[in-house]
Amino acid sequence: MKKDKIFLIGFMGVGKTYLGKRVADKLALNYYDIDLEIEKRVELDVNQIFKEKGEDYFRKIENQILLQWDRSGIISTGGGIIQNSQNRKFLSDESNLVIWLNPSWKKVKSRIINSYRPLVLNRSVDELFELYESRIPYYEECADLQYNGSRVEALADLIKK
Ligand code: S3P
């Protein structure tokens, strides 16, 4: 079966957007980002949504957008999309290719620690690590493949194969 929806999953800071855009260019595929789709629908950015409407509202829209997803290409997802069991079921459908970007915690930590993500702002490093660890089984559950590196070429080759 040709899998034409390629979802990139993984914790914040693993490179879903960075690698996703470049790999899509390289493979001449469309590129989408679920967070951007949420921002378009709500007409607020992710930080504003969390602040003004709360995380539950963000998760509701994230779930709606994912369950209606029918466009092919490379699709970056937000790090928490796998917390919802419906989302995990949708992603795990055999018509999708789901790639878990999973560099070391050390790398992830250094990339997110000073970022303005709503879930990073109020958390200590220990709390972030706890969140990271708690999500690992969910990424594992959904993923067809795992990629631990940061090379566009290598990820593009993995997808082509
Ligand atoms: C989230 C990750 C963010 C964004 C939102 C919630 C999370 O996306 O969806 O801030 O729960 O991990 P990135 O993984 O692209 O940072």
Tell me the residue range of the domain where 128 lies.
Answer: 5-160
Structure tokens at 121: 């702002």
Mutate to test the pocket of ligand 1, among 7, 117, 120, 130 (most ligand atoms within 8 A of CB): 117
| pLDDT per residue rounded down to tens, the chain (161 residues) | 778 999 999 999 999 999 999 999 999 999 999 999 999 999 999 999 999 999 999 999 999 999 999 999 999 999 999 999 999 999 999 999 999 999 999 999 999 998 889 999 989 999 999 999 999 999 999 999 999 999 999 999 999 98
pLDDT at site 116: 87
Q: What residue owns the CA closest to ligand 1's atom 4?
A: 78
Query: What is the position in ligand 1's atom list of the atom closest to the CA of 81?
Result: 11
How many domains would you assign to the chain?
Answer: 1
Q: How far apart are CA 11 and CA 143, in angstroms?
A: 13
CB 7 within 8 A of CB 91: yes
The rounded Å distance from CA 13 to ligand 1 centre is 9
pLDDT at site 59: 98
Query: What is the position in ligand 1's atom list of the atom closest to the CA of 50?
Result: 10
Measured from CB, residues less than 6 Å from any atom of ligand 1 are 12, 16, 35, 46, 78-80, 117-119
The rounded Å distance from CA 1 to ligand 1 centre is 30
pLDDT at site 122: 85
Which CATH number goes with the domain that contains 59?
3.40.50.300
Q: How far apart are CA 78 and CA 10, in angstroms?
A: 8
| Cα 127 to Cα 90, 148, 159, distances in angstroms | 28, 23, 33
User: What does the buried/exposed string (b/e) look like for 39-51 if buried means 16 or more CB atoms within 10 Å of the residue's CB?
Assistant: beebebebeebbe
